[in-house]
């Protein structure tokens, strides 16, 4: 496993610097205020109007704006300062108080009244209908005090928790197991390209490659995002040269490939992702897809995939197949990955000196890097999990407390370690579907729980595996963890204050939903119906979702995963293949995998031969530039949409 050639190539793709800096100064504080009071409200407004936030584009826009201001002030932003802006923009754009806008609607919704659930929604989620705050449309009312305090408290624990199990898993997978984390250099090299000074740009390659990717992103974004947006505003019919999200082929292939979702996605970004990901991981994904295409007709013929019927398209097909088979099978495959990872770690204790993992590095703290003591990190995890458990027991005393303990100290570590390994090897996020829902329904069915409060409680189900990539990015950019901690301390109050003020402002402007917020008006009713319909299962004590979990299928997934791994080891094939196969079998919509394979083949057999090993460095910067270009085009399209729709509604 640890001698795999491709793993070593990706691990050595970008070396962490010897010297680390905090990067925290007055520019960072101004950046936090800029993001909180300018970027966040725009993102919140767009979510209500068109259903999409600013997304990754906000990060690049913030960095470019501050870099240009610094240049005109005859100063430069350090690499670490730029990465802190990048980091804070991602942390600040998820507005926590936007959930209150949804909660106030849910209590008043026709869906809640129709299903008879209005009285069951707890007052610590939103006040009852008798509250005067709904007439005033104001969160600055005494009835909202408890929901706001609970939200702030949960957010505070979550920020602290970020440096708990996620950081411990990063130290284990990166420092001890030395997994490559192929997607980590994307953000790291992208910010480094923007950090190059004017002189560096004349001789360095990062800015040139980033600019090429940016121009490709702008050109593709024009046809993929901007043209449909503008044509829909200016003409009666939308001009869409590239199908969004994909070409639907399922109905055309259902006679030959029953129960198989077929189609093709034309997002050019997938080609760049395929160039960045490890080659054998992508090919493994293709193998997994081919297994799915072959197996689904057989499973359908034998009555396993019994919910599928002719006429279904991609979304319905994937949804039906997940219920019948792939939900349980995916849980089994994920558990197989966890077992294999634990087996390798355990094996290293008994191996010869050359095969052993150096666990002593967990106990060492690199003060230059700003390391947190591993025992402190684990203590943070234990403290935050206990805080969630006590909060849940207080809010939902009738739900079996043992579930909260199992969530926090059994399920969360397992799924986090699975994801950390998948991110570390194949750049893939893994989540076991419907675990939360199954456990709630089990509590109702077997322990006599009756109510819907549990659906709103801050239960300790988290997946910290994704945080390992972020910590690896921090390391690669030479940013000391002390700077990240300081940035968190600054950005938290800014986000809390800005989020509450702008949620209040948006609600004061007009009722939510209403014609002033068309996306919310169109889709919130459907979302409320789906959400509340699921919640009725804990009142009735039974649900279709509980029937979808199959023990034998879970065991078959575990068995297949372990056997695949054993066969690959015996044959001496790349271990990345099995991670790719798991990824391919777990595809919710497989249409984009084809373009990833195209990107992997181009990278391996054309660009790698043309540019040599340097291509491994070019690909992540190219992807970062492409993301920036696409993001800027998306922001411009959103701006045009807002302006033209606003003008159309003005009364003259």
**pLDDT tens digits for range 584-602:** 775 556 788 889 999 999 9
pLDDT attached to residue 433: 59
What three-state secondary structure class fits 271? helix
Give the pLDDT confidence score for residue 651 in this predicted structure: 45
| Cα separations in angstroms, 458 against 382, 408, 447, 497 | 16, 11, 20, 21
479 touches 84 (CB < 8 A): yes
**pLDDT tens digit sequence for 61-82:** 777 778 778 777 777 778 888 8
> What is the SS3 assignment for 247?
strand
Q: What are phi and psi of 495, to 5 degrees?
A: -65, -45
Q: What is the pLDDT of residue 10?
A: 66
- Which tokens go with 210? 């980033």
Q: What is the pLDDT of residue 271?
A: 93
- Please tell me whether the peptide bond between 513 and the residue prior to it is cis, using omega within 30 degrees of 0: yes
For 486, 603, 617, the CA distances from 613, given in Å and listed in that order, are: 37, 11, 8
Which stretch, 338-347, 473-482, 534-543, has highest mean pLDDT? 473-482
CA gap 301, 303 in Å, rounded: 6
pLDDT band at 344 (very low <50, low <70, confident <90, very high): low
Q: Please check the confidence at residue 204 and state whether its pLDDT lies above 80.
A: no
Tokens of 187: 């953000």
Contact between residue 133 and residue 144 where contact means Cβ atoms under 8 Å apart: yes
- Min mean pLDDT across 180-189, 242-251, 387-396, 481-490 is at 180-189
pLDDT confidence of residue 381: 92
Please compute the mean of the pLDDT values over residues 222-248 and round it to a whole number. Answer: 80
Distance of alpha carbon 247 from alpha carbon 265, whole angstroms: 6
Q: Is the pTM of this model over 0.85?
A: no
The structure tokens listed for 94 are 């998820």
Q: Residue 174: its pLDDT value, please?
A: 84
Q: Tell me how far apart the alpha carbons of residues 125 and 102 are, in angstroms, rounded to a whole number.
A: 10
- How long is the chain? 652
DSSP 455-512: GGS--S---GGGHHHHHHHHHHTTB-HHHHHHHHHHHHHHHHHHHHHHHHHHHHHS-S
Interval 169-184 mean pLDDT? 82
Q: Which residue has the tokens 């030479």?
A: 478
- Write the CB contacts of 295 (distance below 8 Å, at least 6 apart in sequence): none
Tell me the average pLDDT of the chain: 80
Peptide bond preceding 165: is omega within 30 degrees of 0, i.e. cis? no
Model confidence at 6, in pLDDT bands (50, 70, 90)?
low
Termini Cα distance of the chain: 70
Q: Token pair 């090897």 is at which residue?
A: 425
In tens, the pLDDT along 425-476 reads 766 676 665 677 777 877 777 777 788 888 888 888 888 888 888 888 888 8
Give the confidence band of 363 by pLDDT, cuts at 50, 70, 90. Answer: confident
pLDDT, residue 233, reads 73
Which CA distances in Å does 540 have to 79, 469, 523? 56, 41, 26
Q: Could you give the angle at the alpha carbon of 63 between the alpha carbons of 62 and 65, nearest 5°?
A: 65
Indicate the pLDDT class of residue 50, thresholds 50, 70 and 90.
low
The pLDDT of 306-318, averaged and rounded, is 85
């Amino acid at each position: 496993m640890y001698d795999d050639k491709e793993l070593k190539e990706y691990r050595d793709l970008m070396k962490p610097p010897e010297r680390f800096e905090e990067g925290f100064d007055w520019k960072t504080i101004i950046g936090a205020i800029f993001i909180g009071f300018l970027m966040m409200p725009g993102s919140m407004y767009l979510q209500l109007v068109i259903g999409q936030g600013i997304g990754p584009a906000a990060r690049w826009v913030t960095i470019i704006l501050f870099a240009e201001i610094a240049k005109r002030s005859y100063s430069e932003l350090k690499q670490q300062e730029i990465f802190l802006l990048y980091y804070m923009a991602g942390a600040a754009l998820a507005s926590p108080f936007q959930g209150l806008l949804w909660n106030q609607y849910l209590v008043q919704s026709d869906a809640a009244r129709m299903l008879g659930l209005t009285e069951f929604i707890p007052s610590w989620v939103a006040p009852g209908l008798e509250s005067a705050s709904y007439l005033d449309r104001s969160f600055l009312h005494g009835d909202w005090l408890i929901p706001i305090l609970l939200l702030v408290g949960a957010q505070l624990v979550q920020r602290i928790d970020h440096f708990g199990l996620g950081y411990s898993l990063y130290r284990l997978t990166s420092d001890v197991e030395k997994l490559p984390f192929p997607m980590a250099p994307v953000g790291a090299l992208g910010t480094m390209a923007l950090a190059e000074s004017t002189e560096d740009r004349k001789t360095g390659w990062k800015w040139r490659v980033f600019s090429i990717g940016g121009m490709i992103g702008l050109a593709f974004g024009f046809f993929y995002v901007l043209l449909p947006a503008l044509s829909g505003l200016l003409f009666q019919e939308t001009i869409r040269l590239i199908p969004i999200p994909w070409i639907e082929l399922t109905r055309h292939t259902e006679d030959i490939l029953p129960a198989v979702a077929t189609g093709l996605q034309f997002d050019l970004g997938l080609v760049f992702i395929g160039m960045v990901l490890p080659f054998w991981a992508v090919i493994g994904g293709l193998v997994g897809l081919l297994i799915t295409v072959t197996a689904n007709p057989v499973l359908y013929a034998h009555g396993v995939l019994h919910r599928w019927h002719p006429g279904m398209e991609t979304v319905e097909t994937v949804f039906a197949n997940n219920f019948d088979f792939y939900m349980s099978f995916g849980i089994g495959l994920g558990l197989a990955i966890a077992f294999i990872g634990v087996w390798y770690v355990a094996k290293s204790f008994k191996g010869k000196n050359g095969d052993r993992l150096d666990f002593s590095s967990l106990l060492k703290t690199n003060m230059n890097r700003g390391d947190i003591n591993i025992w402190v990190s684990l203590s943070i995890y234990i403290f935050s999990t206990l805080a969630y458990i006590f909060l849940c027991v207080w809010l939902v005393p009738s739900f079996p407390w043992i579930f909260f303990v199992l969530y926090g100290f059994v399920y969360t570590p397992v799924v986090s370690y699975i994801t950390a390994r998948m991110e570390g090897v194949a750049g893939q996020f893994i989540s076991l579907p419907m675990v939360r829902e199954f456990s709630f329904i089990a509590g109702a069915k077997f322990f006599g729980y009756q109510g819907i409060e549990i659906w709103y409680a801050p239960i300790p189900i988290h997946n910290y595996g994704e945080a390992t990539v972020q910590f690896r990015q921090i390391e690669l950019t030479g940013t000391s963890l002390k700077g990240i901690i300081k940035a968190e301390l600054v950005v938290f109050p800014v986000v809390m204050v800005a989020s509450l003020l702008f949620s209040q402002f948006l609600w004061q402007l007009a009722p939510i939903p209403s014609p002033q917020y068309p996306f919310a008006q169109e889709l919130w009713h459907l979302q409320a119906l789906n959400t509340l319909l699921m919640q009725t299962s804990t009142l009735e004590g039974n649900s279709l979702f509980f029937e979808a979990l199959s023990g034998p299928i879970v065991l078959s997934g575990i068995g297949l995963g372990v056997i695949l791994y054993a066969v690959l080891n015996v044959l001496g094939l790349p271990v990345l293949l099995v991670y790719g196969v798991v990824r391919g079998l777990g595809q919710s919509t497989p249409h984009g995998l084809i373009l990833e394979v195209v990107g992997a083949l181009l990278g391996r057999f054309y660009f790698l031969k043309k540019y040599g090993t340097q291509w491994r460095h070019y690909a992540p910067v190219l992807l970062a530039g492409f993301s920036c270009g696409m993001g800027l085009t998306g922001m411009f399209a959103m701006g045009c949409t807002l302006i033209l729709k606003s003008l159309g509604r003005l009364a003259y």
